[in-house]
């Protein structure tokens, strides 16, 4: 399958003509949802979830389905059975992809800031998108999408997180608030010059794609 990175925390996964998008939020280009079959939303924060964008996509595509947690599902009232609420441990099929849910809560920001629900998605037993949490799935992970920058984590926590998940490879997401200096700093700690996370670390530019899963081979290309 092919993974394409869009703005910030959004990715699109394609396989055999089927398209699945995760977290097309307010920092994501709307065309990320072009010709998409299903959408997965980890949680309700604006950089992962845009109600307006999803409702427009649902109007344009009557077959579109949305899979998310209970809090986000409530915000999408009126879409009926096209929205499915899920919780930790559930498994389902979206656009021909086998998906398993891991996690319950967003990472803590501060004791005075209420936590929101957050679920991570393991796609085809290969690719894990944790949303805004450092959830460790009770399953092997081939490709981890690592949220490299947020007010709820430190670089040290990210290093330990990758070591615990122990994926074959790691790709950066959740980096929309970083400038070039911040991106280089994150890469310095998480890449080959850092203390070691146990897996290759890479960052895709917006619109870039890679082949993942199946073969231990990557093929970088630009998305049209």
List, for residues 41-53, the tens digit of each pLDDT value.
999 999 999 999 9
Q: pLDDT category, 30, cuts 50, 70, 90?
A: confident
Q: How far is CA 224 from the centre of its chain?
A: 21
* 2-222 carries CATH number 3.40.50.880: no
The dihedral built from the CA positions of residue 69, 74, 75 and 78, taken in this order, carries a sign that is positive
Q: Residue 48: its pLDDT value, please?
A: 98
Give the global pTM: 0.93
d(CA 30, CA 133): 24
Flag whether pLDDT at 221 surpasses 90: no
Dump pLDDT digits (tens) for 149-175: 999 999 999 999 999 999 999 999 999
Distances, alpha carbon 80 to alpha carbons 21, 77, 179, in Å: 20, 7, 40
Q: Residue range 187-213: average pLDDT?
A: 94
């Amino acid at each position: 399958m092919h993974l394409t990175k869009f703005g910030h925390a959004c990715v699109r996964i394609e396989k055999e003509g089927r398209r699945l998008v995760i977290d097309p939020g307010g920092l994501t280009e709307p065309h990320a949802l072009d010709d998409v079959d299903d959408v997965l939303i980890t949680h309700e924060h604006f950089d992962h979830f845009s109600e307006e964008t999803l409702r427009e996509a649902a109007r344009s595509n009557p077959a579109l389905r949305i899979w998310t947690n209970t809090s986000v599902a409530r915000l999408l009232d009126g879409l009926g059975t096209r929205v499915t609420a899920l919780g930790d441990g559930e498994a389902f099929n979206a656009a021909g992809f086998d998906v398993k849910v891991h996690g319950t809560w967003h990472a803590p920001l501060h004791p005075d800031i209420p936590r929101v629900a957050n679920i991570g998605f393991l796609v085809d037993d290969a690719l894990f998108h944790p949303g805004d949490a450092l959830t460790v799935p009770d399953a092997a992970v081939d490709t981890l999408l690592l949220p490299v920058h947020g007010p709820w984590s430190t670089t040290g926590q990210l290093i330990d997180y990758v070591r615990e998940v122990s994926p074959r490879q790691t790709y950066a997401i959740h980096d929309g608030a970083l400038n070039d200096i911040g991106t280089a700093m994150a890469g310095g700690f998480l890449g080959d010059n850092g203390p070691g996370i146990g897996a290759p670390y890479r960052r895709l530019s917006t619109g870039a794609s890679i082949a993942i899963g199946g073969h231990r081979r990557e093929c970088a290309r630009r998305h049209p």
